Structure 1
Amino acid sequence: MKDTKIVGKAYDSRLIARLTKYMRPYRRIFWVSVILTILLAAVAPALPLLIEHTLDRYILSANYSGLTTMLIIMLLLLIAQTVIRYFHTLTTNTLGQSVIRDIRIQVFNHITNLRLKYFDNTPIGRLITRTISDLETISNIFSEGLIQIIGDLLQLVVILGVMFYTDWRLTLIVLIPMPLMIGATYVFKEAMKSAFQSVRLWVSNLNTFLQEHISGMGLIQYFAREEQEIRKFEAINKEHRNAHIRANWYFSIFFPVLEIIIAIATGLLVWYGSKQILGDVISPGVVVAFLMYINMIFRPIRELIDKFNTLQMGMVSAERIFEVLDTKESTPNKGTYKPDHVRGEIEFKNVWFAYNDEKWILKDVNFKVRAGETLALVGATGAGKSSTINILSRFYEIQKGEILLDGVDIRTYDLNFLRKTIATVLQDVFLFSDTVLNNITLRDPSIHKKNVIEAAKKVGAYDFIMRLPNDFNYEVQERGATLSAGQAQLVSFIRALVHDPKILILDEATSSIDTETEQLIQSAIDNLMEGRTAIVIAHRLSTIQKADKIIVLDKGEIKEMGSHQELLALDGHYKNLYDLQFNSIGI
């Protein structure tokens, strides 16, 4: 999925106001940066003035003693400028990185609280671009953009003031090419706005493509799609390259034009200044100082363009970041109910649910599971089984009806408390690049290793973990690549057990494991569910025959409900599923 949205203005005071709010905790660093910026601007014209004085007073009169003194003063001035510039660079970069650290934490916290529907519609690569590339671009607003622009403008004002004070006629001569500079700058600014937006767009698309295709590399190789996907990547990479070349092309035109304008100003100064010297109107030192002033005027203007482009890119990135932060896709957590004890009784009352509009996934669903009972959900793919458990944990919100936990609407419960009450073992197990122990505890310091060991023994996974190098400290690779599917599933069972939930959900938890491992899990399943309410989703009907209640779902509606024997006696949907499955395996 490509990111096709180009947003952002050349300069947006609203975005700047929002960004500057993040500087409040670092006001001291900010004001130090401002003071250093003012100092740099104040000392900028000092060197040309000293050179003018030295040339007119000491060099032309061959006063070597005075010349030596002036050289020492100029050396000290250069050292002072270097020290000030060092601390200026240090403080502005510290400010930028501190602000970005805070924004990145806020963005990550916001993303972790977004409901799953948002991730269904948003490519992961785009979010990675927002939290890494775009934020790094924003940091440049503080370290290379906003304060530097203020400093360059201040330096420009100071130097022009000194120039007009020294000789206003010479100053006006130097400024004759300035309208050309302003016109070229405006054209360049407008061109770069579009170019930078295009660069950010294709960076996002490139990240999205790489994230999806590296994650799905196995599928690509299984179906021998390497050549086709390489061609797709080449097309996106070509657009990414072209966007950068287009931006650099504008630079390659603008800066030579700028050099020509500076050369014109220098030529005019030399022509008019020479006439003034020959007419004994001004001293040679003034012309030499003005030659330096030309660089000091046009260099800040040239750097202002660079800084403006930095600001331009920052505006585009800030717009994208705040678009994520302004997303109202988080699950509302208005509930505060956190009882001391949860029995685990679940009731669905007239529940209707749709992912989009009114394309109902669940239609008027009603059932009740008593505390400690096991409920099994069966049905064809798309019947609504996984949706039932997703809305129980409030990963998605229902449109009609009520879901009750111990007789209380789940929206009344504190959201974190509700989700800690429910543990889910999914078919597609996700393991982080971390140790087995941390994948089980999820770095929860309240879970002790002895509890993990006890849970591993209950599940029957202790022996295989102890055979791993470093046992519980074995480093699992990304998505559990170094473990078999069965081993990864056993780790997820331990994870669910150690969090001691009152409600246990098994979503196709044995569908991806071998028969031996399945038997291992089945032998421990009674211990796992003891004292807990359990909801089991399974295609293998052999795994749910002991369930207290079985619900048959079809196109979001409950078709049958009862025990295994009761449903077989009905000779309906469940009986057809049972016969189809067991006849297909020769039973």
Structure 2
Amino acid sequence: MHRGPGPTFGRMNDKPKNFKGTFKRLLSYLSSSKYRLIFVFFTAILSTVFSIVSPKYLGKATTKIFEGLMAKMQNVPGAAIDFGYIANILLLIIGLYLFSSLFTYIQQWIMAGVTQKTVYQLRKEVDEKLSRLPLKYYDSRTHGEILSRVVNDVDNISNTLQQSLTQLITSLVTLVGVIVMMITINIPMTLIVVLTLPLSFVITRMIISKSQNYFAGQQKALGELNGHVEEMFTGHQIVKAYGKEENSIRQFNRINADLYDSGRKAQFISGIIMPLMMFVNNIGYVLVSVVGGIFVTKRAIAVGDVQAFIQYARQFSQPITQASNIANIIQSAIASAERIFQVLDEAEEIQDEEKATVNDIQEKIRFEHVHFRYKENEPLIEDLNIEVKKGQTVAIVGPTGAGKTTLVNLLMRFYDVQKGRITIDGIDLRDLNRQNLRSLFGMVLQDTWLFNGTIKENIAYGRDGATDEEIIRAAKAARADHFIRTLPDGYETVLNEEASNISQGQKQLLTIARAILADPKILILDEATSSVDTRTELVIQRAMDELMKGRTSFVIAHRLSTIQKADLILVMNHGEVIEQGTHEELLKENGFYADLYNSQFNSSLRKKIG
């Protein structure tokens, strides 16, 4: 309470667009705990009441001491201080404070359970919702934004419910209780204290309006500084290689100076609030003391009541400051809730639990007059027709943006076609259960995905319940067993978060082992060898050949040397299949594919000669 509300008001919090509606919706999550919340409300009231009435009784003890001393000074026969009465008062006050602390403990304990139950339900709903959202939701948002809603916004709600809700109740009860107690002591003195309120509000509002701009600048500079530091250290080798250390330091110093300037002004201005509030309160204390002294001399009020009144006057400003802080925090929590509810309200993939299932490909996969576009006014695939027979290896080649990966997304129903249809043995993919359809596929991508865990656990991710023997057999088929056994802990070697403790080629072999273990009917290889050297590429290519045996495979490749044995090569450009055939057939046509192949061959030859 010594800094005032400056730092709270200075936070860069979003304001909710629909405060009332979001607040009601958030309250609905608390409805299952309404009886516990009612009990929390009453314990908060009791805790505050026991704390508020204590100064009144302490004032009585002061009055009794004062009366005893005055009687002695006036030589009243038998005059003495009634220590028995004072002792009883002190015991009563101790009891009141103990009960106040007990009810505070009870309310915090119950509120912790209510809060965690609420945020547990929110996290559960968000997690389940994310698994039901279509791929286009993730394509249109950054990972950081999604994680912020799942983690930061839920934590913000948790902290607000745990602390601010009970504080708000306590502040309001304290404010009302203090006013009532002051009125019972003396109405004119109460009016003096209450009249200082408008002045406090005016001062606070003026300072907050000034400090908000500086806090905004501080947060902006802080974000820029964090981004610069992260970027420079992530690309530390590049910065060193190009000799840009001085440029980096100059940029850091510039941003750091902006942060210092805005931070100094923001903290200084917000720090003025509490001294000014104390100045206003002290004016009130002086007036109360003077008026109280006059009333004591006229025997209109007891000395102990003046002491109790001053204590109440000191308590009077605290709940106002707390309430203003909490109001801003609650606004931030409602904004967080609004962001979470936006996720929960997103359109989901069409539920298809009752749809047909397939367990294998008996004949072929067909693309029949397929039309697709990500954006309404930007055509991508127009009237695409392809036929892939069971067991064939189909290579898809073409320049960047030709639609190769889009073809795979449509095949796995990450997106649905807008016109035409894709069929497996004559069954439209839209008539199939998504989970069943995707269980037919295994994927090995250019960007390897391995999680923080052992190598054995990463391979076992391909199939639930896989035995150690099956995992080792899959690793051997993927040509990964040898390098795994050379590691200090073998299959129990723990990969770090980015799996940077093994090479890129080794990562790729592990993903191939995982796909082999999954034993998919249809295989998708998307640029699986593009980021490794030629020798490693040969090892990976042999592992992929083992993986593709007897499976219908779709191979996306830029290195045309890796797909010469494909049964069918589809050459795509601007969303269309402009050529198709075997490697030899396409070379004889001397068209787009031949140009691509020859340009790569000539480039490789020039590198060798050079």
By the TM > 0.5 criterion, same fold? yes
Cα displacement string for residues 10-56 of structure 1 (whole angstroms, at most 9, x for unaligned residues) = 99222222222333454465344323211122213221121122223
Name which of 40, 64, 86 aligns with 2:47: 40
Equivalent position of 1:462 in the other structure: 481
Provide the residue aligned with 1:341 in structure 2. 359
Judge conservation of contact 1:126–1:205 (CA < 8 Å) in 2: no
Task: Name whichever of 566-575 and 545-554 sits farther off.
Answer: 566-575
Aligned to 1:179, what secondary structure does the other structure show? Answer: helix
Mapped contact 1:352–1:365 kept (Cα < 8 A)? yes
1:21 aligns with 2:28: yes
AA paired with 1:52? G
**1:313–1:206: structure 2 CA closer, same or farther, 3 Å change rule?**
farther
Q: Distance in 2 between matches of 1:267 and 1:526?
A: 91
**Alpha-carbon distance in 1 for matches of 2:146, 2:162:** 24
Shift of 1:273: 1.0
Residues 275-330 of structure 1, C-alpha deviations (whole Å, 9 max, x = no match): 111011111111111111112222111222222232233344344444444444x5
Picking from 2, 8, 12, the partner of 2:19 is 12
Q: Please name the residue that 1:380 is paired with.
A: 399
Once the two structures are superposed, the pairs formed by residues 335-484 of structure 1 within 5 Å of their partners are: 336-339=354-357, 341-343=359-361, 345-442=364-461, 445-484=464-503
Further displaced range: 74-83 or 316-325: 316-325
Q: Deviation string for 1:353-373 (max 9, x for gaps)?
A: 333333233232210112222
SS for the counterpart of 2:382 is strand
Looking at structure 2, the residues matched to 336 and 234 of structure 1 have their Cα atoms a distance apart, in angstroms, of 62
Q: 2-side partners of 1:357 and 1:162: how far apart?
A: 68
Q: How many residues align?
A: 582
Aligned to 2:58: 51
SS of alignment partner, residue 580 of structure 2? strand
Matches within 5 A, 1:504-583: 504-583=523-602
Give the Cα separation in 1 of the matches to 2:36 and 2:532. Answer: 57
Give the whole-Å Cα distance in 1 for the aligned partners of 2:30 and 2:408.
Answer: 43
Query: 2:517 maps to what in 1?
Result: 498
Match of 2:318, as an amino acid? R
**Partners of 2:414 and 2:265 in 1: how far apart?**
44
Question: Would the alpha carbon gap of residues 160 and 214 (structure 1) be closer, same or farther in structure 2, given more than 3 Å must change?
Answer: same
Amino acid at match of 2:405: S
Q: Which residue of 1 aligns with 2:5?
A: none
Name which of structure 1's ranges 482-491 and 254-263 shifts more when overlaid on structure 2.
254-263
**Which secondary structure does the structure 1 equivalent of 2:474 belong to?**
helix
What TM-score does the superposition give when structure 2 sets the normalisation length? 0.85
Question: Hey, what's the Cα distance between the residues in 1 that align with 2:346 and 2:253?
Answer: 32
TM-aligned CA deviation for residue 505 of structure 1: 0.4
- Kindly report which structure 2 residues correspond to 1:93-132, keeping only aligned pairs within 5 A, or say none: 93-111=112-130, 113-132=132-151
Counterpart amino acid of 1:461? A
2:70 is the alignment partner of 1:63: no
Name the SS of the counterpart of 1:552 in structure 2. Answer: strand
State the alpha-carbon separation in 1 of the partners of residues 227 and 456 from structure 2: 31
Q: Distance in 2 between matches of 1:192 and 1:416?
A: 54
Structure-1-length-normalised TM-score: 0.88
* Structure 2 CA distance for aligned equivalents of residues 200 and 27 of structure 1: 38
How far did residue 257 of structure 1 move?
A: 2.1
Which residue of the partner structure matches residue 169 of structure 1?
A: 188
Distance 2:310 2:167 in 1: 24
Where does 1:176-215 land on structure 2 (aligned, <5 Å)? 176-187=195-206
Deviates more, 1:436-445 or 1:213-222: 213-222
Q: Give the structure with higher Rg (CA).
A: 2
Conservation of the 8 A alpha-carbon contact between 2:47 and 2:100: yes
Letter in 1 for 2:482: D
The answer to whether the 8 Å contact 2:358/2:437 transfers is no
Preserved contact between residue 506 and residue 536 of structure 1 (Cα < 8 Å): yes
Equivalent residue letter for 1:317? S
- CA displacement at 1:404 relative to structure 2: 2.2
What is the identity, as a one-letter code, of the residue corresponding to 1:364? D
Cα 1:582/1:169, change in 2 over 3 Å = closer
Opposite residue 458 of structure 1, the aligned amino acid is A
Aligned partner of 2:155 in structure 1 is: 136
Q: Deviations over 1:214-246 (max 9, x none)?
A: 666666566555555666666666666667656
State the distance in 1 between where 2:124 and 2:263 align: 29
Q: State the secondary structure of the residue aligned to 1:367.
A: strand
Give the root-mean-square deviation of aligned CA atoms.
3.3
1:144–1:224 CA distance, 2 compared to 1 (3 A): farther
Contact 2:208 2:270 in 1 (8 A): no
Partners of 2:114 and 2:208 in 1: CA distance = 26
- Quote the Cα distance in structure 2 between the aligned partners of 1:132 and 1:231: 35
Tell me by how many angstroms 1:123 deviates: 3.5
- The unaligned stretches of length 5 or more in structure 1 are none
Q: Is the 8 A contact 1:126 1:207 kept in 2?
A: no
SS in 2 for 1:360: coil
Q: CA deviation at 1:340?
A: 5.0
Asked whether the 8 Å contact 2:374–2:380 carries over to 1, the reply is yes
When structure 1 is superposed on structure 2, of 178-187 and 150-159 the one drifting more is 178-187
- Counterpart for residue 507 of structure 2: 488
Residues 226, 360 of structure 1: CA spacing in aligned structure 2 closer, same or farther, 3 A cutoff?
farther
Residues in 2 aligned to 1:338 and 1:448: alpha-carbon distance in whole angstroms: 31
Q: 1:479 to 1:213 in 2, by over 3 A?
A: farther
Distance in 1, matches of 2:188 and 2:114, equals 42
AA aligned to 2:290 is: W
Greater Cα offset, 345-354 or 528-537: 345-354
Change in CA separation of 1:323 and 1:371 when aligned onto 2, cut-off 3 Å: same
Distance 1:403 1:231 in 2: 57
Cα distance in 1 for partners of 2:594, 2:263 equals 63
Task: Supply the distance in 1 between the matched residues of 2:463 and 2:184 (Cα, whole angstroms).
Answer: 69
Closer/same/farther in 2, CA of residues 240 and 503 from structure 1, 3 Å limit: farther
- Rate the CA distance shift 1:125–1:525 in 2: closer, same or farther, 3 A: closer
Distance, in Å, in 2 between the alignment partners of 1:134 and 1:196 is 21
The 3 A distance-change label for structure 1 pair 235 and 128 is farther
2:235 and 2:367 map into 1 onto residues whose CA distance is 37
Deviation string for 1:479-538 (max 9, x for gaps)? 221111211110110121222221100111122233333333333444312332110112
Structure 1 residues 236, 324: CA separation in 2 closer, same or farther (over 3 Å shift)?
Answer: farther
Contact 1:427–1:510 under 8 Å retained in 2: yes
**Amino acid of the structure 2 residue aligned with 1:74:** I
Q: Give yes or no for contact 2:356–2:431 (8 Å, CA) kept in 1.
A: no
User: Is the 1:125–1:209 contact (alpha carbons within 8 Å) kept by the matching residues of 2?
Assistant: no
Classify 1:182/1:584 alpha carbon distance in 2 versus 1 (closer, same or farther; 3 Å). closer
Secondary structure of the residue that 1:446 maps to in structure 2? Answer: coil
